[in-house]
Amino acid sequence: MFIDSHCHLNFPGLVEDLDNILANMRANEVTHALCVSVDLDTFPQVLALAESKGNLYASVGVHPDYELETEATQAQLVSLAQHPKVIAIGETGLDYFRLTGDLEWQRERFRTHIRAAKECGKPLIVHTRSAAADTLRIMDEEDAGQVGGVMHCFTENLQVALAAIELGFYISFSGILTFKNATLIKEVAQNIPLHKILIETDSPYLAPTPYRGKTNQPAYVKHVAEEIAKLRNITLSEVGEVTSFNFRRLFLNAK
Ligand SMILES: [Zn+2]
Ligand SMILES: [Zn+2]
C-alpha cells in the first residue's frame, strides 16, 4: 500500500539488518522500496539488493556530493541501466550546500546523467540543495522532461515545486515533512496536485517524527504518508494508493 521511492539499504546501519527491515516493511504495508545509487563503486551492492528481493528496485548514478577523479560517462550509465531491475538514473543533481567553490563539474555531471536518462528512456532521481535555480535551468536546457523523474527529498518552496512539475517531474516528500518547523514544505504538500506526489524515507537519514535522530528505514515512510493525509484532509489509504500509483506510472510505465 506504500512505496518508499528513495532509500539507501546498502549503507551501514541498514545492510546488516536487512531481514528485520524487510519484515518491518511488511508489517507496515510498505510493499516496495527503490534503492538509490550514490556512486558506481557501490552500485553492485545496490543492484545485488534489487536482484535478491522481488520488491526492491535499483537506480544507477553518481551523487553530486562526491568529488571524483574519474567521472562516469554517459555510455557507462546507459550500459549499467540496461538491467531490468534498474528503473531510474540517479541520484544526480546539484548541491551547493555541502560543497562550494567552482562546481562546474557538478553541473557537467548532472548534464551527463540527464543525457544518459534520455538515451535509455529511464526517469531521473534529482537531488537539489541550495541550487534550485541552476537545477531547473539545466533540466530545462537538457530537455529532462522527455524522460521526467522525481525531485527527491523536496525542501524547496511552492514556486520551485510548480516549476519542476511544469517540466514533467514529480515531487517526493521525506520525513522532513513531519518536522514541526517545516512550514514551507507543508505548504508545498498541501498545494501541489496529488497525482504528482511521491513519498520516501532517504534511509538511513532523516527519520520522521517520532523517530527523529534515529536510523531511518523504509517502514517509516508510512509516517510521511500520514502527514500528507493530515495536511490534505484525506485518508491514509488514499495517500498510499495514489502515491503507489504515481510511483508505478513514473518508474514502471504502468498506466
Ligand atoms: Zn539526495
Ligand atoms: Zn539519497
Reported in sequence order, the residue ranges of 19-173 that DSSP labels E, i.e. its strands, are 30-35, 56-60, 86-95, 124-129, 149-151, 169-173
**Cα dihedral: 230, 130, 219, 12 (round 10):** -160
CB 149 within 8 A of CB 170: yes
Q: Cα(217) to centroid of ligand 2, in Å?
A: 12
Mean pLDDT of 162-166: 98
- One-letter amino acid at 104 equals E
Q: Is the pLDDT of residue 254 over 70?
A: no
CA distance 152 to 126: 6
28, 54, 125 from 77: Cα distances, Å: 34, 23, 14
CA distance 81 to 43: 11
Q: Please give the pLDDT value at position 255.
A: 45
Query: pLDDT for 107-143, tens place per residue?
Result: 999 999 999 999 999 999 999 999 999 999 999 999 9
Hey, is 212 helix, strand or coil? coil
**Closest ligand to Cα 127:** 1
Query: pLDDT for 171-198, tens place per residue?
Result: 999 999 999 999 999 999 999 999 999 9
- C-alpha angle 176-226-231 in degrees, rounded to nearest 5: 80
**Closest ligand to Cα 200:** 2
**Closest ligand to Cα 152:** 1
CA distance 137 to 149: 15
Prediction pTM value: 0.97
**Closest ligand to Cα 37:** 2
Mean pLDDT of 55-70: 96
Confidence of residue 253 (pLDDT cuts 50, 70, 90): confident
Q: Cα(98) to centroid of ligand 1, in Å?
A: 11
Place of cell 493525509: 229
Q: Is the pLDDT of residue 24 over 60?
A: yes
Q: Cα(16) to centroid of ligand 2, in Å?
A: 19
Query: pLDDT for 200-248, tens place per residue?
Result: 999 999 999 999 999 999 999 999 999 999 999 999 999 999 999 999 9
Exposed/middle/buried for 159, CB within 10 Å: 0-12, 13-18, 19+? exposed
**Closest ligand to Cα 126:** 1
Place of cell 510521511: 224
For residue 164 the three cell numbers come to 519542476
**Mean pLDDT for the chain overall:** 97
